[in-house]
Structure 1
Amino acid sequence: MHTLTNGIQHTTGKSEARGWPAASSPVDMSKVCCMILGGGQGTRLFPLTQRHCKPAILFGGRFRLVDVPLSNAIHSQIHKNYIITQFLSASLHQHIFQTYRKESYSSGFIEILGAEQKPKKTDWFKGTADAVRQNLEYLIETPAEYFLILSGDQLYHINFQKMMQCALQKNVDVLVATLAVNQKDAKRMGIMKVNEDHHIIDFHEKPDADAALERLKTPSSVLDKMGLPTETDACFLGSMGIYL
């Protein structure tokens, strides 16, 4: 699989893609469908998740965490949106139905794909990748050429048009959004190593061994090419769980 990764720099209330081409020309986002993973159990956030899944947790007074990826997708002109749910999903379903009225999105849709047992599939989702796999039949029927996979419980501000433009210009099969992190944070994330062309050449989920961490360090020349600081201990590229 041919893959490409680029760094994303985060600041308070704003994030900008660095190393990506500016969206100077219009990008046809009608070819993109977004799938938001909304089944997070969120054991580390207990008791906030005692009655709600993570994406349904209140945020900023009247919003819920799921509104963050949804608003980023909508403002990036992505109007075909699925939300995959499973764990404690009642409040999340209610919020989606009450907040995102169908008539406001006549050019697309916001639909919930709840976990369900089928004649030949009686298991629940075993993880994020399996949640996408078990809904492939809906993806195949969706009029889209590209699929954006997002987590339903993250905070960011990203223009996905830039991400789409980069994927088109580089003609990649998969584009992964990453965040430069230090060694302490690297131990709790999926860490990848890329070459000078931003192709992923190694990946390790939550590396803890010193040898693995040393192997996954991103060379300063690659960080510089991405537009990221080189004189810093944030020399690991952690997956943000954003895939195109």
Structure 2
Amino acid sequence: MLSIWPLAGIGEVTSGSDLVTVIGDAIDGSAHPLADGDILVVTSKIVSKAEGRFVQAHDREDAITAETVRVVATRTSADGSHVTRIVENRLGIVSAAAGVDASNTPEGTVLLLPVDPDASARALALGLRARFGVEVGVLVSDTLGRAWRDGQIDHAIGAGGVRVFEDLRGSTDAQGRPLAVTLPCVADELCAAADLVKGKASGMPVAVVRGRADLVGGLDLPGARTIPRTGERDMFRLGYDEAYAEGFAAGAAAR
């Protein structure tokens, strides 16, 4: 049985906060002691805040540009009031605004994603394992949109001691037919499920997932950096309008 609950008692995280201590103290105050196989889902914002990922940016667009390595699509709103940029950031994640966050930050600053979310997740997992003497995993989550679907859900951008995929290739379905491509991204599924109890404005940025101990393992497991499709594996490199313009330009140049 899968159980998920939020951790209460986590106050405002600031630059330099020790997240192992902050989260560990919240666990000590919880009615649910940690157990082997538990997975903690930690919102990336508090990781970024603890790591001091604030930058001075009176113009958020400049910060987005600095974090962008490739523009996928750009759209201007119908009333012309704002521009949405879908870009690939330095972590290989394709999202709106390169993950730059201007909400709940000091005036004149924005918050960037962690430098290395996998390393952050592993450090948290290592510290919590040492403090509580149990083998736990950590996922760092961020809110992302999805191609072809409205709305946003939480995805994994960092993983420490957690298998991010459940590889079913080579097994069979209930009718005995072989599964050739079935590779559920369980890290994303767990992050989305955890957000149902964390919420967006509840002040509870950490949730504990129990019931998937099979996914917890060594800290040398591949992290969430293995999830994004990049390079030649990216089948959706450009937005529709951008792909059309690129193809039109290439055709004109070949004449």
What TM-score, normalized to structure 2? Answer: 0.22
Larger Rg: 2
